[in-house]
Structure formats: C-alpha cells, structure tokens
Chain A
Amino acid sequence: MDIATISLILLVGMLVLLAIGMPLGFASGFLAVVVMVLKFGPDLLFSSFGTGPLNILAQRLYGITTNYVLISVPLFIFMATLLERSNIARDMYSSLNLWLSRTRGGIAVVTAIMAIVMAAMSGIIGGEVVLLGLIALPQMLRLGYNQDLAIGTICASGSLGTMIPPSIVLIFYGLITETSIHALFKAAFVPGFILAGLYIVYILIRTRLNPEQAPLPEPSPDDMTGSQKARLGLTLLTMVAAAAAALLVVRWVFLHTLGSFDEETALVDTGSLVVCLALIAVGVGNALFVVGKDATREAWERGKGLVAPLAVVFVVLGSIYGGITGITEAAGLGSVAVLLLIALRGEFSMTLLREALMRTWKSTGTIIWVTFGATALAGAYTIAGGPTYVANLIVGADMATMGVLAVMMIIFLFLGAFMDWTGIVLLVMPVFLPIVKKLPVEELGLFGSLDVAFVSVWFGILFCVNMQVSFLSPPFGPAAFYLKSVAPPHITLPDIFRGFLPFIGIQLFVLLLVLLFPEITMLLR
C-alpha cells in the first residue's frame, strides 16, 4: 500500500483511538502494528513465528530502554516528589517574605521567585503548582490581593519547571529527535529567564498601576529597613561564598594528602585556590570584625531558608553546566542533595521515602510507556517512508518559510489545548523536525542568523515555550486543575482560566521573540 494511504489511515486511526479513551502509549503501539501490516501485508508478517519485520517493534523498545539519558527521568521525578514532601519550599517562602514583604506586589514576586528556584531544581510541573497553591494563595487572598493576579502568578510561574533547565520536556525532545540535551539546556537558559523575568516585571507594573490589587501587609517591628537589608544581604552573600570556597580548599588539601591529584578532575588550580582563600578571609573578616557576630547570626536566620534550595540548584545546574557530570548524574546528585537536606531538617522518615518512591514509580510508568508506544510507532512509520513523505508534502506546498513555522506553532498550540505534551513531542516531532531541517536556514527567524547545526535545538526551545502555553490554555490546561484541587471551593475553573489571560499573552510574546530572534537561543554555548 502506498504511503499516502497509510498516513491517512494512521491519522484517522490515532484520532479515533484517542477519542475512545485508549491509553496513548498503547494506541501508538497498536497503530505501529497497523502500519507494519499495511506496509508489508499480513502474509509476510505472520508466516513465520519469532522473526520477520515485526521484530522492529521489539528492537525499538529495546533501543529506548538502553538509553542512558532516560534514567534521568525517574530520578528527576524522584527528586521532585521528595521536594513536595518536605517543608523546604515553605521555609524558602517565609525567608523571601522577610526581604520583600514591604514591596508593592511583593508576595506575588516572592511566589514567582520561589517558582523559578523550584523550576531550576527539578523539571516537573504539578507539584510546584500545588505547593504554591497551598502556601502562597491563602496568603495573597488574605492580604486582599486581586484573585486573578494571585492565580495567574501561581500557575504561570509554577509551570516554569519545564522551561527552565533541567526540563523534562527538553529531555524527551532530545531523546526523540537525537538532539544534544546539553545543548538544549544551554539554549533554554536565556529564553527561560526572559519568560520568568517578564512575569515579575508584569507583576510589578500591574501592581503599581493598580495599587489596590496588591495591598501591603501591616508593618511589623520585625521589618528590615533598606540599609539593614543591604548590610545583611551582603553578609549572607559573603558567608555563602566563603563556605563554597572552603569546600574547594578542603578538597584540594584532601587530594594532595591522598596524592591522587589529577588536573583533569581537580576543578581547582593554584590561581583559583588563592581566590578561594581570599574569599574565606573576606567572609570570616566580615563576620567577625565588620558587622559583628550578632548581625551575622541575624543574616543567617533570615536567609537560611533560601540557602538550602539554592544549594540544590547549584548542585544540579552546576554539575550540568560546569561539565562535572552528565544530566543523569546531576539528577542523581540532586536527589541525594534533597534527601540530605530533608535529613538535616529532621523530616526524614521511612514513610516519606517509601511514599516518594511509590509516587515516582507510578509517574515513571505513566510517562515512559507513552514513550515506548510512540517509539514503536515512529520506527514503523519511518520504515514505511512516512517522514519523507510528509516533509515533501509540506516543502512542496510552496509556502513561505516563516509561514510553515507559523502553521506548526498554531498546530502545537491547538494540540496543546487538548493533549499532554508527552504525546505531542512523541507523535508530532518525528514528522515536524525533518521538515524544519529542510527549510532554508537563512530564512529562519526575521532578525539575526541561525547556525545550521542549531536548527533542531532552536526548534526544541520553540516547542518548549509552546508547551508553557499548553499548561495554561483552556479547556484542559493542567495547571488550572492542579490549582483547583487545592484552592478554596469558591474559586471555580472559569475563575482560574480568567486569571491566566495576561500570562498567556506574555508566553505568546516570548514565543514570538524566540521565533523572530533565533539568536536568543544561541547566547550560551
């Protein structure tokens, strides 16, 4: 049978199977079998047991099973579930509050910052929205914040987990399209923080234009003055820097006494050792002689809630960007760091570990089996010549380059309103990316130029921003449902979606920005 008919049957079959509520992974798997039968005919397939072209299905499953980066998925899920079960996030919230509560719109900004830090720790949304909904929403509503502003802030910034590295969406994109996940993480850094920064800027502008939307809390004697904030903040910074430097020095001394010093893995040369020692001197000197012991203790008391999460961020992102470990190892180290923090805080119990593992287990099974089905389908469809066919179809349609991209963005946004991102990346990407790669590279984006080797990375970031919109877009934006499950009963789903509108506008603006200025994704590399 020719590939045009097969493609049509595949499309209709997928729509029908999804409509009747079949699990996505198994629907893809079944359609993979259908494609094989249509391509090779039933006789060829079922004539001899145990061999034949159908073996491609098992081979594809085996191929993805032995992919080293995929192990980072259960590990990141594990880390996120541990974080959800500890009070680390709540302490970070209280700490940030001390510093920002006297600013107009301060609690909304605190919420956004907290979400950004949590996004930089793990790459999953869901837990973040729920946590923010439990911690920040009651506070904002009690203070008389505008409900739409509060809801929009929580859900939009709570969804950043899959935009700011490490991001599970980018991990899957990289796996499916065989793009370097390292490169994706580097590329996502700038757009991710532009998006997050715009949320904060928006909150600040909106609350200054309408001060009644964000009333200030009653002043309390505990509030810090501006100069006090600066002094304590600087003290805290020097303390953290000195501690980090001390760690490196201890390691240097340890390696030298052990005699196993190796320039490759040492991380410290003599020059930076001097810098480290200087940092320690500044830290200790500041604490003892400049501000005094009491102020140092106070700075620590007010800032310690922030230090722990930032340490986890440092472990995860530092290992990835610093080139110390790969993504999988960074996920493993992050989990250890969170476990360690939980233990230090005295929250650890076997029940907590067991519950977190059970939760991880269920989420892993859910997400990975979608991948399995899709990889089988992609394998079958490729053998049948599908991607080439679709690519020729679109390239032959004689559309302007940016027109093709615009159509793709609209398809992503539309699918995103109804489907989970896993399904979109796994089913649509194997078809879309080859097309994008065939487009003339100099016509991609309106301003600036894109490297040929960078096209798939750039497209991955575009996809990632699209999925940010999908978390918020009605009727099935998951963030709304996550928040609904913890919000006061009088807040209805339409209320929640109404709060999203300005934030969806910001997301679309960033999408346009990345689309028109592809160079944004190439700033770090």
Chain B
Amino acid sequence: MVEHEVTGWLDRITLLISRVAMWLPAFVVAIIFYEVFVRYVLGAPTLWVNEMSLWVGGVIYLTAGLYALQQRSHIRIFILYDMAPKWLRQTFDLLSLACVCIFAFAVVWGGFGEAKAKLLRWETFGTAWDPPIPATIKPLILLTLVLLALQSISNLIHDWNRDPVSHDPADDLDLPTHLDMSAGSSDRGGPKPN
C-alpha cells in the first residue's frame, strides 16, 4: 500500500500509534476464532471474548480515524472544491478546519466531566467479565477528538501551498499489483501505480 507522505512531527506520532494499533483487527479475529473453537469443539464458551472484542473495537474505530485523517482519506465531495481557484480553496480549507475544531471543542466541553469521573472511578462495564470499557473509552473519545483537531491543523499547514491533485473514487483503492496475471493477455493496460 502506498502511504501518504509524512508531513510534520504530529504525523510521526499518528503513524507510530497506527503501526501498533493496526494489528488489533487481527487480534480480534484471533480471539473470535478461539471463542468459536472452544464453544463448538470443546463445548466450553468463554466469558471474556465478546467483551474484549467490544473493548478493542472501540480503540480500533477511534485510532483508525486519526490515521485516515493523516492519509487524507476521509470521505469528501470534491465537485466544487476541485473547480475553485487556489485562494478560494484555501478559504474552504480554513472554514473546514474551524468547523472540525469547534466540533472537537464542543464534544470535550460537554463530555469532560463524565469522562473524568468515569476514569477516576475506574467504572467497569457491569457484565460478567467486567472490563473497564467506560473508564477507558470515554476519555479516549475526547483525547482522539483533540488529536484529530491537531492533526487537521498540521495537515492544513503542510498542504497550504500544495497544488491541487485530481480526485476520483479510485484514489482510495490500491491495486493488487503483485497478482500473477499470466492468465490475462498482453493487451492489458496494466495497473497504474497508485
């Protein structure tokens, strides 16, 4: 997969988090397989797999969003944006940035009290295995939003003087270039490096 280049020190932190956290889906697959195995083969289901995948899932969604932002891959509509002259695009970007920051600010403003209380109380999920999901995920939501706002600022600083790139839906697909295509013929255009 071709990654977006690193622009700025915050990107290094985002990438560092992602390099570790991207293995979490594989971890969830592994424990789910374990659960189904012990349930149907050994007839002894576990208590912890469901809640563990719920907990890990929360971390996955939040941190993956940070990576998607650093990669500039969040879903946007480029119809007008691509047509606008440079000064107008920069205005659009500034407006977007302001909106992201206000969103992050409002969520933190409203949720800080509850998140802090749950963290300090180390509130648990209230189920059989009882992991501290509220105590960890609630603060993580606020932390991620702050990081998202910072990442947006960092992105804009580095993209400010960029020339526009073309956008089409296939940008987000990276093509399997290594596939053995010997069954195909020679008149194929070949996958373009993306």
In angstroms, Cα B185 to Cα A135, docked, is 9
A66 contacts B by Cβ under 8 Å: yes
Contact at B74–A71, with CB atoms within 8 Å? no
Given contacts A62-B138, A332-B29, contact A24 B181 (CB under 8 A): no
User: Which residues of chain A come closer than 8 Å to B113, judged between CB atoms?
Assistant: 49-51, 55
Contact of B170 among A17, A94, A363, A485 (CB under 8 A): A485
Check: A10 CB closer than 8 A to any chain B CB: no
* In the complex, A166 has a CB within 8 A of chain B: no
Contact with A along B79-100 (1 / 0, CB 8 A): 1110000000100100110011
CA of A131 to CA of B134, assembled, Å: 42
Known: A54-B107, A486-B189. A336 touches B114 (CB 8 A): no
Complex contacts, B191 vs chain A, CB 8 Å: 134, 485-486
- Contact pick for A54, options B60, B109, B185, B188, CB 8 Å: B109
B72 nearest CB across to chain A (Å): 9
A22 and B29 CA atoms in complex are apart in Å by: 34
Q: How far is the CA of A325 from the CA of B49 in the complex (A)?
A: 13
Tell me, in angstroms, the Cα distance from A376 to B103 when the chains sit together: 10
In whole Å, how far is A102's beta carbon from the nearest beta carbon of chain B?
18
Known pairs A21-B96, A30-B100; A65 contacts B62 (CB<8 A): yes
Q: Are B75 and A56 in contact (CB under 8 A)?
A: no
Chain B residue numbers with a CB within 8 Å of A332 are 28-29, 32-33, 36
Complex Cα gap A357–B28 (Å): 12
**Contact digits for A471-490, partner B, Cβ 8 Å, 1 yes 0 no:** 00000101001101111110
Asked if B109 contacts A488 (CB within 8 A), the reply is: no
B26 at the interface (CB under 8 A from A): yes
Contacting pair B185 A138 (CB below 8 A): yes
Tell whether A369 pairs with B67 under 8 Å between CB atoms, given A46-B109, A94-B183, A328-B53: no
B114:A55 contact, CB within 8 angstroms: yes
Question: Looking at chain B, what size class is its interface with the partner chain?
Answer: 35 or more
Residue A362 at the chain B interface, CB threshold 8 Å = yes
Give A258 to B116 CA distance when docked, in angstroms.
49
> Are the CB atoms of B110 and A139 closer together than 8 Å?
no
How far, in whole Å, are A359 and B188 apart by their CA atoms in the complex?
A: 25
Assess the B174–A359 pair: CB atoms within 8 A. yes
**In B13-57, which residues have CB < 8 Å from any A CB?**
18, 21-23, 25-26, 28-29, 32-33, 35-36, 39-44, 50, 53-54, 57
Q: B60-77: which residues lie under 8 A (CB-CB) from chain A?
A: 60-69, 71, 73-77
A328 to B106, CA, bound (A): 33
Minimum CB–CB distance from A112 to chain B (whole Å) comes to 18
Contact of A302 with B by CB under 8 A: no
**Which of A68, A137, A333, A369 is close to B74, meaning CB atoms less than 8 Å apart?**
A369
Neighbour of B169 across the interface among A71, A260, A328, A482, CB < 8 A: A482
- In the complex, what's the smallest C-beta–C-beta distance from B78 to chain A, in angstroms? 6
**In A466-515, which residues have CB < 8 Å from any B CB?**
476, 478, 481-482, 484-489
Tell me if A357 and B25 are in contact (CB < 8 A): yes
Q: How far is the CA of A74 from the CA of B24 in the complex (A)?
A: 10
> Taking the complex as formed, is A370 at the interface, i.e. its CB lies under 8 A from any CB of chain B?
yes
Q: A19 — nearest CB in chain B belongs to which residue? A: B80
The CA-CA distance from A105 to B132 in the complex, in Å, is 59
Whether A59 contacts B68 by the Cβ 8 Å rule is no
Whether B187 pairs with A419 at a CB distance below 8 angstroms is no
Does A70 lie at the interface of the complex (its beta carbon under 8 Å from any beta carbon of B)? yes
In the assembled complex, which residues on chain B have CB atoms less than 8 Å from the CB atom of A431? none
Residues of B within 8 A of A24 (CB): 74-77
Q: In this complex, what residue of B is CB-closest to A141?
A: B187
Please encode chain A, from 246 to 261, with 1 for each CB lying within 8 Å of some chain B CB and 0 for all others: 0000010011001011
B137 in contact with A58 (CB, 8 Å): no
| Interface hub of B69, B92, B174 (most chain A Cβ within 10 A) | B174
Q: In the complex the two chains form, what is the Cα distance from A282 to B60 in whole Å?
A: 48
Instruction: Report A-chain residues with C-beta under 8 Å of the C-beta of B173.
Output: 126-127, 130, 482, 485
**Contact call B50/A68, Cβ cutoff below 8 A:** yes
User: What is the minimal beta-carbon distance from B96 to any residue of chain A, in angstroms?
Assistant: 4
Residue numbers in A under 8 Å from B57 (CB-CB) = 65, 68, 70-71, 74
Interface contact B64-A26, CB-CB below 8 Å:
no
Minimum CB distance partner of B26 in chain A: A357
Q: How far, in angstroms, from A93 to B107 measured CA to CA in the complex?
A: 50
* Residue from B106, B116, B138 having most chain A Cβ neighbours under 10 A: B106
A366 CB contact (under 8 Å) in B62, B77, B111, B172 = B172
Q: Mark A23-61, 1 if CB is under 8 A from B, else 0.
A: 111110110110010000000011001111111111101
* CA of A324 to CA of B39, assembled, Å: 10
Complex contact A90–B179 (CB within 8 A) = yes
- Residues of chain A lying within 8 A (CB to CB) of residue B7: none
Contact A365 B68 (CB under 8 A): yes
Asked if B1 is at the interface (CB within 8 A of a chain A CB), the reply is yes
Nearest CB on A from B122, distance (A): 16
- With both chains docked as a complex, state the minimum distance between the C-beta of A247 and any C-beta of chain B, in angstroms: 12
- Give residues of chain A (351-381) contacting chain B, Cβ–Cβ below 8 Å: 353, 355, 357-370, 372-373, 376
A137 vs B36: C-alpha distance when bound (angstroms): 40
Q: Which residues of A contact B189 (CB under 8 A)?
A: 486-489
- Which residues on the A side are within 8 Å of B29 (C-beta)? 75, 78, 332, 335-336, 339
Closest 10 CB pairs of A and B: A54-B110, A58-B111, A365-B68, A21-B81, A332-B32, A50-B113, A365-B64, A23-B74, A30-B99, A488-B189
Q: Using A65-B137, A141-B185 as known contacts, list a sample of 12 further A-B pairs with CB atoms less than 8 Å apart, ordered by residue number in A.
A: A18-B76, A22-B92, A29-B103, A45-B110, A51-B114, A55-B111, A58-B107, A90-B183, A258-B42, A361-B64, A370-B75, A423-B75
Interface residues, chain B, CB within 8 Å of chain A?
A: 1, 3, 18, 21-23, 25-26, 28-29, 32-33, 35-36, 39-44, 50, 53-54, 57-58, 60-69, 71, 73-81, 89, 92, 95-96, 99-100, 102-103, 106-107, 109-116, 133-134, 137-138, 141-142, 148, 168-170, 172-176, 178-181, 183-185, 187-189, 191-192, 194
Cross-chain pairs A/B with CB under 8 angstroms, 21 sampled: A17-B99, A19-B81, A22-B96, A58-B111, A58-B115, A61-B107, A85-B179, A90-B181, A131-B176, A134-B184, A142-B187, A260-B43, A328-B32, A335-B29, A357-B26, A364-B64, A369-B61, A482-B173, A485-B192, A488-B189, A489-B189
